């Protein structure tokens, strides 16, 4: 069995330049990144997207591959998949088309999406229907560009639409597009009481991506080693199910913002140590 390759997200470097992020990733030894489209690193809206030339050049300079594009899309950001109203829906679709175009220009094979969120004073099924319709449109455009779409669950504090593995499966079935697949977000998985095995029981080979984080003390996106999960057990669980995607470190917590490179190095050093032990046996 092959150990999944590690990837790194730039979300933890939100108070540093994209150049500093790539330098930290490259010097730590990362060869893959998932690009979060925070406006401080790559501006994208419903009208346009910033040139990707700088990011493409930095990736080439440090020998790094961009394996996924993760756009801004959750409350209070304006890009809600389940948005109300025709004008808003036109904006959201244009936004995701620009995100997909960014992925194509950077050579990334996939983008990351969520269900979006519902107003708490409306029937959840109304927002669900809007989410299904928007994701169909997003997937249809992505298909014309050769891009896969990976859907992750959110925590109940973020959205009431998709929180569990069963919810992910239900939305995939409702959207019914072959290029819509599943992502396991370890934080959302833990909060929902799901497991890696449980995700695969429900979704099987539809799982193509993971947001790979430690969890502990009520915090769900910790650097590995700062929480209570067992990295080796988690990697072995993924491997048992034949998982071939990346394990993408979505380390994101205020404790890391001042010195994100420390967490960046901590994660890859633990990954190297654990995988070396696995390969030695």
Contact 64, 17 (CB under 8 A): no
Q: What is the per-residue pLDDT across 263-274, written as a single tens digit (0 to 9) for each?
A: 999 999 999 999
Q: What CA–CA distance (Å, rounded) separates 253 from 129?
A: 32
What is the total count of domains within the chain?
1
- Flag whether 45 is in a domain: yes
Residue 62 lies in a domain: yes
**Cα angle: 221, vertex 231, 35; to 5 degrees:** 45
pLDDT of 182 > 90? The answer is yes
Q: What is the pLDDT of residue 63?
A: 98
Q: What is the mean pLDDT of residues 189-205?
A: 98
Q: What are 151-172's pLDDT values in tens digits?
A: 999 999 999 999 999 999 999 9
User: Mean pLDDT, to the nearest integer, of 254-266?
Assistant: 97
Closest CA to 96 of 82, 117, 107: 82
pLDDT of 162: 99
150 in Cβ contact with 140 (< 8 Å): no
Classify residue 103: in a domain, yes or no.
yes
Residue 1 placed within a domain: no
pLDDT given at position 281? 83
The predicted pLDDT at position 64 comes to 99
Residue 41 lies in a domain: yes
In a domain, residue 264? The reply is yes
Our CA dihedral for 17, 68, 240, 263, rounded to 10 degrees, sits at 10
Nearest C-alpha neighbor of 152 from the set 34, 50, 12, 271: 34
Give SS3 for 112.
Answer: strand
CATH value at residue 20: 3.20.20.150
Domain that holds residue 246: 6-280
Residue 240 confidence class, pLDDT cut points 50, 70, 90: very high
In a domain, 169, yes or no: yes
- Tell me the pairing of strands 214-216 and 219-222: antiparallel
pLDDT tens digits, 99-108? 999 999 999 9
**pLDDT confidence of 255, banded at 50, 70, 90?**
very high
pLDDT exceeds cutoff 90 at 111: yes
> Which residues fall within 8 angstroms of residue 121, CB to CB, at 6 or more apart?
none
- Tell me: the pLDDT tens digits for 6-58? 999 999 999 999 999 999 999 999 999 999 999 999 999 999 999 999 999 99
Q: 126-154, pLDDT tens digit by residue?
A: 999 999 999 999 999 999 999 999 999 99
β-pairing, 207-211 vs 148-152, is unpaired
* 114: pLDDT strictly greater than 90: yes
Sign of CA dihedral 159, 205, 105, 131: negative
For residue 66, being part of any structural domain is answered with: yes
């Amino acid at each position: 069995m092959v150990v999944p390759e590690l990837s790194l997200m730039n979300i933890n470097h939100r108070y540093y330049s994209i150049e500093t992020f790539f330098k930290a990733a490259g010097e730590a030894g990362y060869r893959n990144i998932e690009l979060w489209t925070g406006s401080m690193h790559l501006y994208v809206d419903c009208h346009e997207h910033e040139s990707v030339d700088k990011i493409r050049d930095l990736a080439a300079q440090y020998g790094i591959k961009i394996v996924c594009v993760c756009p801004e899309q959750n409350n209070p950001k304006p890009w809600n998949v389940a948005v109300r109203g025709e004008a808003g829906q036109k904006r959201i679709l244009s936004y995701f088309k620009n995100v997909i175009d960014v992925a194509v220009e950077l050579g990334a094979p996939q983008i990351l999406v969520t269900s979006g969120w519902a107003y708490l004073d409306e029937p959840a099924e109304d927002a669900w229907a809007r989410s299904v319709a928007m994701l169909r449109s997003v997937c249809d455009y992505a298909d014309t560009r050769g891009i896969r779409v990976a859907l992750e669950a959110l925590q109940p504090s973020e959205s009431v639409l998709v929180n569990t593995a069963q919810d992910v499966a239900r939305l995939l079935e409702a959207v019914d597009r072959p290029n819509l697949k599943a992502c396991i977000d370890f934080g959302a998985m833990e909060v929902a009481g799901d497991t890696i095995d449980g995700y695969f029981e429900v979704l099987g080979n539809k799982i193509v991506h993971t947001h790979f984080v430690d969890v502990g003390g009520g915090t769900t996106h910790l650097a590995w080693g700062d929480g209570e999960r067992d990295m080796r057990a988690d990697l072995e669980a993924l491997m048992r199910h034949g998982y071939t995607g990346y394990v993408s470190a979505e380390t994101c917590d205020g404790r890391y913002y001042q010195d994100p490179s420390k967490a960046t190095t901590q994660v890859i050093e633990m990954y190297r140590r654990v995988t070396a032990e696995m390969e030695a046996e």
